[in-house]
């Protein structure tokens, strides 16, 4: 007979007791990993480049100087959070996103406990399930944005406040909640507006005058203790009182200004310091509000509606190009069902729960947070992303609305007044949101994806050299979309019919791919001036399509690549736009960049020569550039601060059987600052390949 140890019995009991929560966590983790795989390799969106650039500067020992050239100062905690893995593992996002996924899963547990604390265990499980499957909560851990970390800090703080009402060690929990709220504020500064309401809530939800003062005092003391070092640092650095950040001033001006936002940023760029920009933003906002108070109130009402409306094309949804079939159909359906539709259902249920539940002091804290968030949306501006920290606090009320239908809760049937209130709240919400419900966009995107699936099939056939079959597939795609014409033109080029390809490209010239392919046709025919004009057109520069050109066009053989001269598309990948340093044209590499030499002449040996410059801001060491030829390391160069030529004798056997050479340049990177948040490696002027035998 097998005897269970104490640990085995505990583990068995734990797994059984929390089996539903563990299953919910597993589903949430599966969904998050799936989204990580789908979004892998994407470019930064929204404020991601700003946060990553600030963290990289901090990890390199440059403090918070990143913001010296920007319109505002951000809170420090998320930047420090990003800087730690950058310092440990280098400037890559994978470790950051892995940590954020762990935090996101932990947040599911926190909201299970919050739902349980507000109502009961079943509501807690419902809340956890909603957090697990609501798609934005699976997308945001894949973004270098504050939402995931902020929500974890804030939810933990709220949970401790709720538990402090019935705990013996009340002041310990209240103090810890104050510390967590301070960390959350140092992650997202707008939370500071909520802190006084928390203190008031503690005062009125505590019995006994002395105990009331003590609870509010302990909370505020711990909040200030953690906030004070950053505030003191700002005073020493800027000689001004900046408790957390200065984005609030700019956002207030943006919300009150009637003209284009470019007016504000242009005015702020004239100021010479962060305090001066903050003062200018506050004075500008006050002037605009007093000049048109009714207009400001109207814009505030629109901001409140924007907080709750669906924004189908928001950057964080990754649907750019959906009408051209560039977004996966299953992903669009997932967005529609697990984001938009689930959001509408959960919100309606939550509003029913809000109207019908019997409220106590614990629920008052949650309602205060919802109210303050709505107030901030009115005073400042709001976008759909700003509701992410609000929604999960409403999910327990949706759970209550569902569970109140169960037999054991039928005795708590709400009054007609409460039912009427629920109906009115739902009507207002649906009136606000349903006009933005994206049935049409989703249908359009899915149909386009189905049509353009022929492009994917054709690309595979093209890679296999099956030109006729690829052409057949491309002809089945939507001919009104310029991507289709580009693929058909590629087939004609490979068949040796550039004139036919050019005819196919006469339409759709507002598409960057059309211009790049036309430029390639001219370059191959020796017409360099029209080719350069097309390659450097503003539509092309907006995309900087070095990766696209690398995959889609076949440049002619060349022994010297003049990088950044306007004719290098197809030869380079992973580099910034072409620039000039005096009379020298160049491109910045991006840490991992490529140059290729197609169809190199046969020889027994080769010399690879590069002209580079490794400029760095003061205080940063000279960059090290590792050079690889067809994947083999051939040199490690410490690039000097001025232009210099470096020659490398390639070892025998470096050239591929097809006589193609791909040169990879890996280097340290830095970012100049807010005004130029690009991730830059070394400056590359030209690369040449010479036979030596």
Per-residue model confidence (pLDDT) at position 4: 63
Q: Quick one: 56 exposed, middle or buried, by C-beta within 10 A (0-12, 13-18, 19+)?
A: buried
* Average pLDDT rounded to a whole number, residues 376-400: 92
Contacts of 424 (CB under 8 A, 6+ apart): none
Per-residue model confidence (pLDDT) at position 479: 84
Q: Quick one: 652 exposed, middle or buried, by C-beta within 10 A (0-12, 13-18, 19+)?
A: exposed
**509-524: b (≥16 Cβ within 10 Å) or e:** eebbbbbbbbbbbbbe
Angle at 635 between CA 631 and CA 637, to 5 degrees: 130
Count the Cβ atoms, other than its own, within 10 Å of residue 87.
Answer: 15
Q: Is the pLDDT of residue 55 over 60?
A: yes
Lowest mean pLDDT among 132-136, 168-172, 321-325, 607-611: 168-172
Q: Is the pLDDT of residue 601 over 50?
A: yes
Question: What percent of the chain is predicted at pLDDT more than 90?
Answer: 79
> For the chain, what is the total number of helices (H) and then of strands (E)?
28, 10
Specify whether the CB–CB gap between 585 and 578 falls below 8 A: yes
Three-class SS of residue 90?
coil
Per-residue model confidence (pLDDT) at position 610: 97
Per-residue model confidence (pLDDT) at position 623: 95
Between 258 and 669, name the one with better pLDDT. Answer: 669
pLDDT digits (tens, 9 = 90+) for 400-421: 999 876 544 455 556 677 778 8
Angle at 670 between CA 667 and CA 675, to 5 degrees: 145
Please give the mean pLDDT across all residues of the chain.
92
Q: Is the pLDDT of residue 245 over 90?
A: yes
Between 692 and 107, name the one with better pLDDT. Answer: 107
Count the Cβ atoms, other than its own, within 10 Å of residue 256.
Answer: 25
Q: Is the pLDDT of residue 57 over 70?
A: yes
Using pLDDT thresholds of 50, 70 and 90, give the confidence band for residue 508: low
Element spanning 574, H or E: strand 572-575
Per-residue model confidence (pLDDT) at position 408: 41
First to last CA, the chain: 80
What tokens appear for 147 in the block? Answer: 């939402």
For residue 586, which of 473, 665, 518 has the smallest C-alpha distance? 665
Per-residue model confidence (pLDDT) at position 655: 83
Question: What percent of the chain is predicted at pLDDT more than 70?
Answer: 97
* Average pLDDT rounded to a whole number, residues 383-388: 91
Using pLDDT thresholds of 50, 70 and 90, give the confidence band for residue 506: confident
pLDDT digits (tens, 9 = 90+) for 175-229: 999 999 999 999 999 999 999 999 999 999 888 788 889 999 999 999 999 999 9
Lowest mean pLDDT among 167-176, 441-450, 607-616: 167-176
* Average pLDDT rounded to a whole number, residues 261-273: 91
Q: Is the pLDDT of residue 332 over 60?
A: yes
Three-class SS of residue 525?
coil
Q: What are phi and psi of 329, to 5 degrees?
A: -60, -50
Q: Is the pLDDT of residue 12 over 90?
A: no
């Amino acid at each position: 007979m097998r005897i269970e140890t104490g640990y085995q019995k505990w583990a068995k009991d734990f797994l059984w007791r929390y089996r539903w929560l563990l299953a919910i966590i597993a589903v949430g983790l599966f969904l998050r990993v799936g989204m990580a795989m789908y979004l892998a390799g994407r470019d930064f969106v929204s404020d991601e480049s700003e946060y990553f650039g600030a963290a990289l500067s901090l990890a390199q020992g440059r403090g918070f100087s990143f913001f010296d050239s920007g319109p505002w100062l951000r809170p420090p905690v998320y930047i420090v959070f990003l800087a730690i893995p950058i310092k440990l593992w280098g400037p890559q996002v994978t470790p950051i996103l892995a940590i954020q996924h762990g935090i996101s899963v932990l947040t599911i547990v926190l909201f299970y406990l919050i739902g349980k604390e507000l109502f009961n265990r079943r509501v807690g499980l419902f809340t956890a399930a909603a957090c697990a499957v609501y798609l934005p909560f699976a997308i945001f851990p894949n973004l270098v944005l504050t939402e995931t970390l902020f929500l974890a800090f804030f939810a933990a703080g709220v949970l401790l406040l709720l538990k402090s009402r019935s705990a013996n060690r009340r002041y310990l929990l209240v103090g810890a909640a104050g510390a967590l709220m301070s960390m959350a504020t140092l992650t997202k500064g707008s939370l500071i507006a909520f802190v006084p309401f928390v203190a008031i809530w503690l005062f009125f939800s505590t019995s006994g005058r002395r105990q009331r003062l003590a609870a509010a005092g302990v909370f505020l003391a711990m909040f200030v203790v953690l906030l004070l070092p950053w505030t003191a640092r700002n005073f020493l650095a800027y000689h001004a009182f900046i408790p957390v950040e200065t984005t609030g001033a700019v956002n207030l001006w943006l919300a009150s200004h009637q003209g284009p936002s470019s007016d504000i940023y242009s005015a702020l760029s004239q100021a010479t310091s962060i305090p001066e920009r903050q003062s200018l933003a506050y004075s500008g906002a006050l002037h605009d509000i007093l000049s048109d108070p009714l207009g400001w109130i109207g814009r505030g009402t629109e901001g409140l509606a924007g907080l709750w409306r669906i924004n189908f094309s928001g950057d964080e949804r990754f649907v750019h190009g959906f009408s051209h079939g560039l977004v996966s159909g299953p992903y669009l359906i997932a967005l529609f069902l697990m984001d938009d539709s689930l959001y509408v259902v959960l919100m309606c249920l939550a509003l029913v729960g809000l109207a019908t539940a019997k409220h106590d002091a614990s629920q008052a804290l949650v309602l205060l947070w919802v109210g303050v968030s709505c107030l901030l949306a009115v005073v400042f501006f709001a976008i759909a992303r700003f509701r992410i920290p609000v929604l999960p606090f409403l999910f327990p009320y949706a759970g209550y609305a569902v569970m109140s239908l169960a037999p054991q809760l039928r005795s708590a049937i709400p009054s007609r007044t409460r039912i009427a209130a629920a109906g009115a709240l739902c009507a207002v919400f649906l009136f606000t949101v349903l006009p933005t419900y994206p049935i049409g966009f989703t249908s359009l995107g899915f149909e386009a994806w189905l049509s353009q699936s022929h492009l994917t099939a054709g690309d595979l056939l093209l890679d296999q050299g099956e030109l006729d079959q690829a052409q057949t597939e491309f002809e089945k795609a939507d001919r009104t979309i310029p991507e289709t014409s580009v693929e058909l033109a590629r087939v004609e080029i490979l068949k040796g019919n550039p004139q036919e390809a050019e005819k196919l490209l006469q339409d759709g010239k507002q598409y960057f791919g059309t211009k790049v392919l036309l430029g390639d046709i001219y370059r191959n025919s020796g017409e360099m001036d029209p080719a350069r004009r097309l390659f450097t057109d503003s539509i092309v520069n907006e995309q900087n399509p070095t990766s696209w050109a690398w995959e889609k066009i076949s440049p002619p053989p060349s022994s010297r690549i003049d990088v950044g001269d306007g004719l290098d598309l197809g030869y380079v990948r992973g580099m910034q736009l072409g620039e000039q340093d005096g009379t020298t044209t160049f491109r910045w590499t991006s840490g991992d960049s490529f140059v290729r030499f197609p169809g190199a002449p046969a020889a027994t040996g080769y010399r690879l020569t590069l002209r580079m410059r490794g400029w760095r801001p003061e205080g940063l060491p000279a960059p090290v550039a590792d050079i690889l030829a067809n994947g083999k390391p051939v040199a490690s160069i410490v690039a000097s601060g001025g232009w210099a030529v470096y020659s490398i004798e390639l070892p025998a056997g470096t050239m591929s059987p097809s006589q193609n050479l791909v040169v990879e340049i890996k280097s340290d990177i830095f970012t100049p600052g807010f005004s130029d948040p690009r991730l830059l490696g070394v400056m590359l002027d030209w690369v040449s390949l010479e036979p030596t035998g």
